[in-house]
């Protein structure tokens, strides 16, 4: 590199710690080949080198030092915002913000123009949705509205033929494995194995989610403790009640310490007491961890009581979005979320796509839980 403002090119002193080299001042003794005697009165001057000492903070040298040298005996320049001498590598474990986030933390989930079809039937038709970090978000709608299809695309279980989904800034279509490590998922159909104990079921999920072997036993114990099943952890799950099975599945989803917990009809087939117990655990876990929760439910009272915001979905599209109180107020005085649901869906429920299959799956799950 040549200096166009100070005569012939002069050698540069190279620091051993990777910082930007410091060029001696034009006209100094070094330019004539004579060594420069360092000023030992200042801590910034090295005994044999005018550049930063190995092991010191490389930020003492700024990007502007390529044009201005550090004079022996003067204070080292202060770090500036333009410092690029030793950039801190990004944390590869943390999701990176997208270009549209303008430097703020990205939302937990962002769907833009999301679509999916099963043959001629369009199950999801241009869904735009954004879920804020830390909230409990309810996705409501009748059978066949497209809720489960939307969730399966968010969780990487279905391809995304049109539109885009991002989870904490990560593109779901391109970074499936990274997204899966951020998600805990409790599907509508039961996932617990009745032949295994509660602890064995959760341990199996810990292995599936790549929880490190050295941490696995403690993570399993912690997840089981979160849902209140430690006393029954070594009993076969086949002997659990319906509410206990749902809490066990919640522990399976929590064992990897996810940032986003997705629950598809978590209280289906449960009696009112068991439903309350499941939601109490969800609320406690959310308060303790600050995780984001996305839940689908047909119980409007659950959505009204536990969800910060809800979206009402019908025929593959989002028809209403807001807090339960906002949606009720928009319909009129003394309205309930049930009234909002009916106003959105109307009476056109007989021809819902996939209805019979959904009904059979719901009844099968209810029988197993009952």
pLDDT digits (tens, 9 = 90+) for 193-218: 999 999 999 999 999 888 899 999 99
Looking at residue 270, its pLDDT comes to 83
Tokens at residue 76, please? Answer: 């080292």
Which is more confident, 14 or 166? 166
**Residue from 2, 9, 3, 11 nearest 30 by CA:** 11
Share of the chain above pLDDT 90, in %: 44
Q: What is the pLDDT of residues 10-62, one digit of tens each?
A: 444 444 444 444 444 444 444 344 444 544 444 443 444 444 444 444 444 44
* Residue 305 clears pLDDT 80, i.e. is over it: yes
Beta bridge partners of 139: 296, 311
Question: Which domains does the chain possess?
Answer: 1-79 (no CATH), 107-369 (3.40.50.300)
What is the rounded distance in angstroms from the CA atom of residue 7 to the CA atom of residue 241? 87
pTM summary value: 0.66
- Split at pLDDT 50, 70, 90, the class of 357 is low
Which tens digits make up the pLDDT trace of 51-82?
Answer: 444 444 444 444 444 444 444 444 444 444 44
pLDDT tens digits, one per residue of 123-149: 999 999 999 999 999 999 988 899 999
* pLDDT mean over 345-350: 61
Compute the distance between CA of residue 228 and CA of residue 241 in angstroms, rounded to an integer.
13
Question: In DSSP terms, which residues pair with 322 in a beta bridge?
Answer: 310
Query: pLDDT class for 316, splitting at 50, 70, 90?
Result: very high
Rounded distance between C-alpha atoms, residue 164 and residue 177, angstroms: 16
pLDDT computed for residue 133 by the predictor: 94
CA–CA dist 114, 207 (Å, integer): 32
Task: Categorize the per-residue pLDDT at 332 as very low, low, confident or very high, splitting at 50, 70 and 90.
Answer: confident
CA distances for 29 relative to 22, 38, 75, 107, 235, angstroms: 15, 12, 20, 58, 83
- For residue 86, the tally of other CB atoms under 10 A from its CB is 16
Task: For residue range 94-107, list pLDDT tens digits in order.
Answer: 333 333 343 467 89
Provide the 8-state DSSP code for 227.
T
Residue among 62, 56, 36 nearest 48 (CA): 36
* pLDDT greater than 90 at residue 91: no
Residue 22: name the closest of 65, 55, 62 by CA.
65
Return the bridge partners of 186, or none: 263
DSSP string, 19-43: PPPBPPPTTSGGGGTPPPPP-TTST
Q: Stretch 211-240: mean pLDDT, rounded?
A: 92
- Contact predicate 53/22, CB 8 Å: no
Q: What's the pLDDT at 284?
A: 87
Say if residue 152's pLDDT is above 70: yes
User: With bands split at pLDDT 50, 70 and 90, how would you rate the model's confidence at 368?
Assistant: low
Average pLDDT for the chain: 75
**pLDDT for res 360:** 52
């Amino acid at each position: 590199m040549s200096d166009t403002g100070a005569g012939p090119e002069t050698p540069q002193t190279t620091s051993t710690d990777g910082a930007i080299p410091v060029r001696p001042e034009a006209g100094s003794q070094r330019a004539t080949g004579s060594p420069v005697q360092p000023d030992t009165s200042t801590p910034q001057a090295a005994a044999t080198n005018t550049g930063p000492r190995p092991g010191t903070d490389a930020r003492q040298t700024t990007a502007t030092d390529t044009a201005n040298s550090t004079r022996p005996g003067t204070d080292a320049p202060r770090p500036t915002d333009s410092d690029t001498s030793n950039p801190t590598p990004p944390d590869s474990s943390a999701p990176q913000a997208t270009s549209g986030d303008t430097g703020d933390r990205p939302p937990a989930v962002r769907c833009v123009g999301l679509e999916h079809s099963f043959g001629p039937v369009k199950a999801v038709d241009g869904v735009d949705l954004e879920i804020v970090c830390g909230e409990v978000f309810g996705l409501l709608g009748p059978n066949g509205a497209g809720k489960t299809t939307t969730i399966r695309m968010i969780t990487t279980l279905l391809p995304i033929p049109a539109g885009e989904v991002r989870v904490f800034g990560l593109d779901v279509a391109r970074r499936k494995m990274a997204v899966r490590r951020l998600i805990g998922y409790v599907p509508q159909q039961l996932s617990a194995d009745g032949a295994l104990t509660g602890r064995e079921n959760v341990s199996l999920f810990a292995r599936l989610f790549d929880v490190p072997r050295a941490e696995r036993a403690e993570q399993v114990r912690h997840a089981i403790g979160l849902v209140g099943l430690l006393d029954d952890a070594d009993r076969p799950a086949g002997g659990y009640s319906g509410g206990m099975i749902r809490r066990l599945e919640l522990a399976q989803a929590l064992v990897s310490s996810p940032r986003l917990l997705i629950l598809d009809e978590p209280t289906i087939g449960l009696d009112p007491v068991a439903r309350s117990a499941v939601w109490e655990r969800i609320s406690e876990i959310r308060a303790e961890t600050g995780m984001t929760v996305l839940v689908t439910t047909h119980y409007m009272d659950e959505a009204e009581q536990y969800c910060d915001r809800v979206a009402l979905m019908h025929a593959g599209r989002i028809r209403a979005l807001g807090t339960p109180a906002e949606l009720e107020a928009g319909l009129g005085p003394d309205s309930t979320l049930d009234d909002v649901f009916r106003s959105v869906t109307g009476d056109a429920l007989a021809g819902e796509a996939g209805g019979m299959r959904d009904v059979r799956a719901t009844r099968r799950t209810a029988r197993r839980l009952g």
